[in-house]
Amino acid sequence: MSAPVKTLLPGATLGVMGGGQLGRMFVHAAQSMGYATAVLDADPTSPAGLVSHHHLAAAYTDTAALAELARVADAVTTEFENVPAPALRVLAQSRPVAPGADAVAICQDRAAEKAHFQRAGVPCAPYAVVDSDAALASVDAALLPGILKTATLGYDGKGQVRVATRDELTQAWQKLGKARCVLEQMLPLQNELSVIVARGGDGDAVTFPVQQNLHRDGILAVTQVPAPQVSAELAEDAARCAKAIAASMGYVGVLCVEFFVVAGADDSPRLVANEMAPRPHNSGHYTIDACDVSQFDLQVRCMAGLPLIAPRLHSPAVMLNLLGDLWFAADAHVAHTPRWAEVLALPGAHLHLYGKADARPGRKMGHLTITGATASEALERALQACAILGLPAF
């Protein structure tokens, strides 16, 4: 068990496991509130490490580095769902850790995750665990066509194979090295949503507005808020489900729950939980520019034991994920700087680049948030930005 979350006022040091862009934005939020920060990440040029007061360049399981992080930090969080849960348990022996290792461990395992959704009373896609030849042979034919996913370490579409027949299922499992997997029934999706919930140690929880998401090749491409195709009733249900999932884990911190919207028996839309991330999420980056508190502000408040306030969306927004492919749009072999000046000439354009030295196809390099007085205005300008950058319209 983690040490209880206590109130840590500005001047304290907040630690984060992981040095990627989520850690970088957390560090910026913590520093703006007057906290010192410490990052543990093996990469000496990690985006978060470069802007933090302390950077421990070591593996997550390095005993000496964990001891040093516990010495310099008054509380610890994580920005990466695959930080080893045992490392969080070591830290929790002497420091508050939010989220705790048990919750992170659930989020790291698709089978445990889906079982947790069911315990929380939230529906998920029909599924089966495939971890042996016998389990493979006993898969219900009703789950096909489906998606075979590795139970651990898969993200952004990695470790996933679509299968339509038993033969394809067998071949896919072999392709994935006969790793422990989850086979999910493929559902007819109307759209995809996500909800970001922040939950404090006292059980108080708040949510951001429901986000409507578009993925391309398994990677988030576009987020729109307010969600244009979501009724008030469905949005309320999504927020309720996200809070229930967090509460049933005793979760402390920021959690993102992704949902599919599918047609119910009477053709009315219904929610199906897809997966969750024990940290701020790509789909919530718009909160920095479009809300009065961001997901990273609330991450700081959760781990510091400060009051949570219900976020207010002050500007409709569209967020575009910026992958390294943009740098190679003109030449597949030579990186060129995208046309930022033209993009920044658009009213309401907010460019966030993550400080990564090398652009590579598929690598998350930054995001662009377009805010407007109305949702239609934000959408129009976002489409203009897509045209300038060479991104597909949506």
Q: Is 275 annotated as contributing to ligand binding?
A: yes
Q: Is 192 annotated as contributing to ligand binding?
A: yes
Dihedral, CA atoms, 103, 109, 110, 114, nearest 10 degrees?
-40
Q: Is 25 annotated as contributing to ligand binding?
A: no
DSSP sequence for 13-40: EEEEE--SHHHHHHHHHHHHTT-EEEEE
Two tokens, residue 88 = 């969080």
- Contact between 291 and 311 under an 8 Å Cβ cutoff? The reply is yes
Q: Is 186 annotated as contributing to ligand binding?
A: yes
DSSP state, 58?
A: S
φ, ψ for residue 74, nearest 5 deg: -90, -20
Q: Is 187 annotated as contributing to ligand binding?
A: yes
Q: Is 154 annotated as contributing to ligand binding?
A: yes
User: How far apart (Å, rounded) are the C-alpha atoms in residues 85 and 61?
Assistant: 10
Q: Is 160 annotated as contributing to ligand binding?
A: yes
- Reduce the DSSP state of residue 211 to 3 states and report it: strand
User: How far apart (Å, rounded) are the C-alpha atoms in residues 228 and 215?
Assistant: 16
Angle between helical axes of 232-248 and 110-119 (0-180°, round to 10): 110
Distances (CA, A) of 381 to 288, 332, 347, 376, 392: 18, 27, 8, 9, 14
Q: Is 342 annotated as contributing to ligand binding?
A: no
- Contact between 58 and 87 under an 8 Å Cβ cutoff? The reply is no
Q: Is 49 annotated as contributing to ligand binding?
A: no
Q: Is 158 annotated as contributing to ligand binding?
A: yes
Q: Is 270 annotated as contributing to ligand binding?
A: no
Q: Which residues pair with 37 in a beta bridge?
A: 14
Q: Which residues pair with 12 in a beta bridge?
A: 10
Q: Is 23 annotated as contributing to ligand binding?
A: no
Q: Is 215 annotated as contributing to ligand binding?
A: yes
- Contact between 152 and 109 under an 8 Å Cβ cutoff? The reply is yes
Q: Is 156 annotated as contributing to ligand binding?
A: yes
Q: Is 168 annotated as contributing to ligand binding?
A: no
| Known binding-site positions for ATP | 110, 149, 154-160, 184-187, 192, 215, 274-275
| Known binding-site positions | 110, 149, 154-160, 184-187, 192, 215, 274-275
